[in-house]
Structure 1
Amino acid sequence: MRRFLVMGVMAVLALTGCGGGEPAAISAAGLSSAKDSTFVYLHHLDIVTDWDPASSYSNEIVAMENIYDSLTIYNPRTRRAGPRLAVAWTSSADGKTWTFTLREGVVFHTGRPVDAAAVKASVERTKRLGAGAAYIWDSVQQIVVRDPLTVEFRLKYAAPLDIIASSGYAAFVYDTHAAGSGDLGKWFQTGRDAGSGPYTVASWTKGREKELVLRAFDGYWGGWDGPHYRNVEFRVTPDPDRAYRMLLRGEASYVQRLNTQLFLRARATAGVRTIQVPSFQNLLVLFNSASGPLADVRLRKAVQKAIDYDGLITRMRGAAAPASGLVPEGLLGHVPGQRSRQDLAGAAELLAQAGYGPDGAPLRLTLTYAEGDDDEALLVRLLTDALASLNVQVEAKAMQWNDQWSRGKATDPAKRQDIFVMYWYPDYADAYSWFLNVFHSAEPVSFNLTYLKDKNLDERIDTLPSLVTSDRGAAEKAYADLQKRLVEKDAVVAVPWVSTYQRAYLGNVQGYTDNPAYSNVVFVHDLIPGG
């Protein structure tokens, strides 16, 4: 990828606990209201990297989920799929035939109807392009239009298609005829959309702070009765201090990411609401198991043991929870009681076995992590210091994501890093996303940045969707066994924490909730702009 309904009235009061240069009070003139109804979302990264709903696989999820609809949507309270474009669905006893009944009267922003033929065309195009998270439809063998509001999916193997259809990526239903006789992919990349969601693109200026503006789609099936935000602005604000000041001035409605210090100040600030919620997102420390010194499993285990897991949780002051295995709590496959602990003596012993350590040869490792991420920087600093005490020197480099990822995917193994630090959250609410994307063999390399190539492991991963559908007990065991192998036996990954999201937003924003299956998404149509 939660949980709270927050309602409140903005109090224009003197702020306490604020440093110099900050406003003494939030200005009522700057606040969003039912009249101007613009919701301003501040993100620390660029919003859009890919406008095509078939291949989109990055930060633009925060906008796309407000522009496009999927057949279903994940409900974190019931832990099941709920209705969206589909109002009902059934599956055969063997889990290989799924029939969805569509909502009546829905239209795309282009004016064309959202019917069974449109669903079939969307999924088939996404499968054909095979980009981004298109793998979610791999089980689909055939799609049959039964009538305008009934679509049937016939699968090659059993899979939980109701949950798959709620995916944050690659599950969007869109008008495949939007470009007419033109190239639909090129048409999308100019900043146009063909969704059926509550908002449509008003403007997009790549590289600008106010990168994207959405406006209300009057024909939205969910309606516009009562107060709603009619416009949504997405602004790119990398500096958390500036983002916080914009919130205090009423120039922003919502800040997606604050550091812990600012979040604690926001909690004590009149007129600002905060929310702290668990997520499905964890931090992965991926070890190069194919080349370089960490091809030796003893050295991978030594680095695992050098991480100060408890110290990190303490220092992050609520922004993280201890991890137990690879799968966060709340997802099928989570295994309690698998928490890791620092063990420097054990690390030294493993290093010595490999000829390194305090009394052996010096070991040099390279590490890459995200530039501007204070939490990752803390991990790197503590790990670097701990390893230095064991005669292991780490050359750590903070990089922009695209540069870091490009290095990790280098065709020349000599150009790759020894340790790759990154976050992961599921494409849909199932742990399969970690195992298929991060640990399954992949050629060329994509997110398999441990560079594992193991046919037996791949076969075990490939059985997971069928097991989830047919035998959840067997699926739980399969997930537990895979985690034991990857974390303990093969030691290709360490998991220092599961992120706890810390958000801040204006007190006049009512009805905000956080859904862990859609990382960083605010479903703006569900909000109520207060006075």
Structure 2
Amino acid sequence: MSKRYHILILFILSAVLLAACSSTPAPSEGQTKKKSVNLLFNFAASSLDPHVDTSYVSLRAGITETLVHLNDTSLTIEPWLAESWESRDGQLWTIKLREGVTFHNGKSMDGAAVKASLERAMKDSLAVKNALRIQSIAANAHTLTIKTEVPFPEFPSELVHPNTSIIDVTDANYVKKPVGTGPFAVASFTPRTAVDLVRYDGYWNGAAKLDSARFSFNEDANARSLALQSGTADIVFRPEVETLSNLEAIPGVKVESTSTFRVHQMTMNLERKALQDIHVRKAIDALINRQAIVDTILRGHAEAATGPFPSTFSFAPDYPDKKSGLDAARAHLEEAGYTEVNGVMQKNGEPLTLKLLTYSARADLPLIAQVFQSDAKKLGIDVQIQLIEIPEEYMAAKRDWDLATYSNLTAPRGDAGYYLNATYHPNGALNFSGADNDHLTALIDKLNATVGQEKRSVIAEQIAKYVDEQVYNSFVLHPNTLVAYKSDKVLNWVTSRSEYYMLTNELDVK
């Protein structure tokens, strides 16, 4: 046998051996396949810091939890990390914490740890500070005594907010690896790509059914749909609307369309000269063809909005009918002193030009912006669209814009107080329009001091009507939450109306 033939035989045998070693062996009878899912989300997070991250990834991915939980069915608040709470005057609160809860590093979640977490949240987030209005916190074992700056009967509902998530602040790697109490701990985090999670076996409410999970990001709605089709994602949040029929046709894929507490609105910057005229704001509102947008852009997966709150809420008032369309908008502009000259809407020789912000993480918002731009052009209004990444950061830091398509949860606690405080109170974290009206502020303060949903609903209606009269923002539609997932694999998935709770300890795979 030639030397060359011996070498050839050895090469073949080596190749076969390497292939055998590199192949993944099938699980033996005593082994079980690791359970995992990949959820693809529509916002790309650069940070996991639960106190400042506006995409709430830490809570949604099951890393952190809050003291109070929102029941998605009854829209009432219920205990979570807090076992109970009480107050005699609405200002001094006693909160008893759940005992036996530990952070992912094994440390006890006691009063001192929760106090430190809340204080850190208020220090690093003006939004949290303004929402909680806490004057002082005292901790004793598993009991907190909290005093608010003013009587605040609805204070516990603010503890639902994801930015009040409880973490161990002694472990300072908040951005990449916050140490929470949830069913999943962070294994690794790649900003704007994904966070990989592992089950926390010491979870107080029963270890997760999954061994691991991936919470990944892609702001391209079409790419999210393709990821489900190709099998690289198991659950896709807000797939491209135009692909829904294709997804529904795939065996083993389920598409859910659920009404939420969200509104797509046209936020108006009241610091801009043109928009300080109510007639200009009315013209902008009249230009928005809500039902056409629902039918074409959202394909019916939405409700045309008349105000910030969906019509099913008790505090959503009946609004007076308004004229809309080009003629109505033109009439409002004429009231403001504008005239159309050679196809250009102008006043005192200056054309009406509006800078409109939008962002692609919600695929329908840029389309709404384009429709508005097209309709405004018919009136001789030049609308310049600018695409931004993080709307909250841009709108808060820069005031060089006139309008912004923005999406907001308006009643995530089943109550109007959150949205009205955040959006129209001078200290509101989401008051990007710059609303500062003494009458409006007084009404909001009155709402904050009122106990009982029936009484609160009456005041909330008054506020919503006043905002409508002043046209501080225009409300376009209430979009459904769209989720597509592999129902032949994923078990116990719940499309929540609040959009807060996604990766839970109950989520499982077949």
Measured against aligned partners, the alpha-carbon deviations of 1:436-494 in whole angstroms (never above 9, x if no partner) come to 3322225xx96322222333322332333222xx2433322222222222222x21210
Distance 2:152 2:145 in 1: 14
Distance 1:425 1:81 in 2: 16
Distance 2:355 2:499 in 1: 32
Q: What SS does the aligned partner of 1:188 have?
A: coil
Q: Which of 306, 324, 327 pairs up with 1:342?
A: 324
For the pair 1:98 / 2:93, whether they are aligned, the reply is: yes
Q: Which residue of 1 aligns with 2:54?
A: 58
C-alpha distance 102-339 of structure 1, shift in aligned 2 (>3 A):
farther
In the TM superposition, what is the alpha-carbon distance from 1:433 to its structure 2 partner? 2.9
Q: Which of 274, 281, 284 pairs up with 1:293?
A: 274
Alignment check: 8 A CA contact 1:325 1:339 kept: no
Alignment check: 8 A CA contact 1:214 1:231 kept: yes
Alignment check: 8 A CA contact 2:287 2:325 kept: yes
Q: Which residue of 2 aligns with 1:230?
A: 211
Distance 1:293 1:159 in 2: 39
C-alpha distance 373-85 of structure 1, shift in aligned 2 (>3 A):
closer
For the pair 1:282 / 2:275, whether they are aligned, the reply is: no
Q: Which residue of 1 aligns with 2:237?
A: 256
In the TM superposition, what is the alpha-carbon distance from 1:353 to its structure 2 partner? 2.1
| Structure possessing the higher radius of gyration over alpha carbons | 2
Distance 2:378 2:83 in 1: 59
Q: What SS does the aligned partner of 1:215 have?
A: strand
* Amino acid corresponding to residue 45 of structure 2 in structure 1: I
Alignment check: 8 A CA contact 1:309 1:342 kept: no
In the TM superposition, what is the alpha-carbon distance from 1:217 to its structure 2 partner? 0.9
Q: Which residue of 1 aligns with 2:358?
A: 369
Q: Which residue of 1 aligns with 2:76?
A: 80
Normalised TM-score (structure 2): 0.84
C-alpha distance 121-45 of structure 1, shift in aligned 2 (>3 A):
closer
Q: Which residue of 2 aligns with 1:450?
A: 433
- Taking only the aligned residue pairs, the percentage that are identical comes to 22
Q: Which residue of 2 aligns with 1:152?
A: 145
C-alpha distance 161-62 of structure 1, shift in aligned 2 (>3 A):
same
Q: Which residue of 1 aligns with 2:367?
A: 378
Q: Which residue of 1 aligns with 2:118?
A: 123
Distance 1:114 1:314 in 2: 49
Alignment check: 8 A CA contact 1:309 1:322 kept: yes
Q: Which residue of 1 aligns with 2:407?
A: 423
Q: What SS does the aligned partner of 1:420 have?
A: strand
Stretch deviating more after TM superposition (38-47 or 510-519): 510-519
Distance 2:170 2:353 in 1: 55
For the pair 1:200 / 2:185, whether they are aligned, the reply is: yes
Alignment check: 8 A CA contact 1:91 1:99 kept: yes
* Amino acid corresponding to residue 204 of structure 2 in structure 1: W
Q: Which residue of 2 aligns with 1:18?
A: none
C-alpha distance 373-448 of structure 1, shift in aligned 2 (>3 A):
same
Q: What SS does the aligned partner of 2:480 have?
A: strand
Measured against aligned partners, the alpha-carbon deviations of 1:23-73 in whole angstroms (never above 9, x if no partner) come to xxxxxx9xxx97221110112331243x333x3231243556511121221
Distance 2:292 2:364 in 1: 12
List aligned pairs for 1:184-195, cutoff 5 A: 184=172, 187-189=173-175, 191-195=176-180
Distance 2:452 2:78 in 1: 22
* Amino acid corresponding to residue 154 of structure 1 in structure 2: K
Q: Which residue of 2 aligns with 1:42?
A: 40
Measured against aligned partners, the alpha-carbon deviations of 1:114-150 in whole angstroms (never above 9, x if no partner) come to 1223222322332344434333321x3333445x333
Q: Which of 201, 208, 221 pairs up with 1:240?
A: 221
Distance 1:280 1:259 in 2: 20
Q: Which residue of 1 aligns with 2:310?
A: 328
Alignment check: 8 A CA contact 2:60 2:502 kept: no
Alignment check: 8 A CA contact 1:100 1:152 kept: yes
In the TM superposition, what is the alpha-carbon distance from 1:233 to its structure 2 partner? 0.8
Normalised TM-score (structure 1): 0.81
For the pair 1:268 / 2:254, whether they are aligned, the reply is: no
Distance 1:82 1:59 in 2: 23
Q: Which residue of 2 aligns with 1:304?
A: 285
Distance 2:276 2:119 in 1: 40
Alignment check: 8 A CA contact 1:325 1:338 kept: no
C-alpha distance 160-355 of structure 1, shift in aligned 2 (>3 A):
closer
* Amino acid corresponding to residue 87 of structure 1 in structure 2: E
Q: Which residue of 2 aligns with 1:317?
A: 299
C-alpha distance 177-427 of structure 1, shift in aligned 2 (>3 A):
farther
Distance 1:130 1:245 in 2: 36
Alignment check: 8 A CA contact 1:368 1:417 kept: yes
Alignment check: 8 A CA contact 1:90 1:98 kept: yes
In the TM superposition, what is the alpha-carbon distance from 1:525 to its structure 2 partner? 1.7
Distance 1:276 1:484 in 2: 29
Q: Which residue of 1 aligns with 2:23?
A: none
In the TM superposition, what is the alpha-carbon distance from 1:112 to its structure 2 partner? 1.4
* Amino acid corresponding to residue 278 of structure 1 in structure 2: S
In the TM superposition, what is the alpha-carbon distance from 1:216 to its structure 2 partner? 0.8
Alignment check: 8 A CA contact 2:158 2:418 kept: no
C-alpha distance 127-264 of structure 1, shift in aligned 2 (>3 A):
same
Unaligned runs of 5+ in 1: 1-28, 179-183
Q: Which residue of 1 aligns with 2:107?
A: 112
C-alpha distance 249-384 of structure 1, shift in aligned 2 (>3 A):
closer
List aligned pairs for 1:498-509, cutoff 5 A: 498-507=478-487, 508-509=489-490
List aligned pairs for 1:431-450, cutoff 5 A: 431-442=416-427, 447-450=430-433
Alignment check: 8 A CA contact 1:65 1:168 kept: no
Distance 2:339 2:305 in 1: 27
Q: Which residue of 2 aligns with 1:482?
A: 463
In the TM superposition, what is the alpha-carbon distance from 1:350 to its structure 2 partner? 1.2
Distance 1:229 1:436 in 2: 38
* Amino acid corresponding to residue 166 of structure 1 in structure 2: V
In the TM superposition, what is the alpha-carbon distance from 1:317 to its structure 2 partner? 1.3
Distance 1:236 1:145 in 2: 38
Distance 2:104 2:322 in 1: 49
C-alpha distance 145-240 of structure 1, shift in aligned 2 (>3 A):
closer
C-alpha distance 409-338 of structure 1, shift in aligned 2 (>3 A):
farther
Q: Which residue of 2 aligns with 1:497?
A: 477
In the TM superposition, what is the alpha-carbon distance from 1:515 to its structure 2 partner? 2.5
Alignment check: 8 A CA contact 1:277 1:502 kept: yes
For the pair 1:214 / 2:197, whether they are aligned, the reply is: yes
